[in-house]
């Protein structure tokens, strides 16, 4: 399985399937987190996931790219309350598991009034 396939399966099981039991299969124990709002380590990710999955997210993957041990995932994240965020997650994988994470997030893009007809995705 490629690193890209691992990340996409992780998204389907954990983020779209809301399956906390899958975390141990995908997240390294010493996972390095660069999002300032989430703790580092597998247990830090678990704490984040408990909160985040409570928001009932659904990720619609728009684009992915893989280069060596890095995978980029660009997606639309719709929360249970209707809020929509535009997100790009970046992962470094090690031994088939997510080892490090960075992200870029635009919150509440459903409220935007674009000055063009290109859409936000």
Specify the DSSP class assigned to residue 51.
Answer: H
What pLDDT, on a 0 to 100 scale, did the predictor assign at position 112? 85
Give the pair of three-digit tokens for residue 101: 């994470």
Could you give the angle at the alpha carbon of 29 between the alpha carbons of 60 and 24, nearest 5°?
55
pTM of the model: 0.92
pLDDT above 90 covers what percent of the chain? 88
CATH code: domain 3-105 is: 3.10.450.50
Q: Residue 95: which pLDDT band, with cuts at 50, 70 and 90?
A: very high
């Amino acid at each position: 399985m490629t690193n890209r396939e691992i990340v996409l399966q992780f998204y389907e099981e954990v983020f779209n399937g809301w399956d906390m039991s899958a975390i141990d299969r995908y997240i390294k124990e010493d996972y390095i987190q660069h999002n300032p709002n989430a703790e580092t380590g597998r247990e830090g990710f678990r704490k984040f996931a408990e909160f985040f999955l409570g928001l009932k997210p659904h990720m619609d993957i728009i684009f992915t790219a893989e280069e060596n041990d890095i995978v980029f995932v660009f997606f639309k994240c719709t929360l249970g309350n209707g809020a929509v965020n535009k997100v790009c997650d970046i992962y470094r994988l090690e031994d088939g598991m997510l080892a490090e994470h960075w992200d870029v997030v635009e919150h509440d893009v459903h409220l935007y009034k674009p000055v063009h007809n290109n859409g936000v995705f």
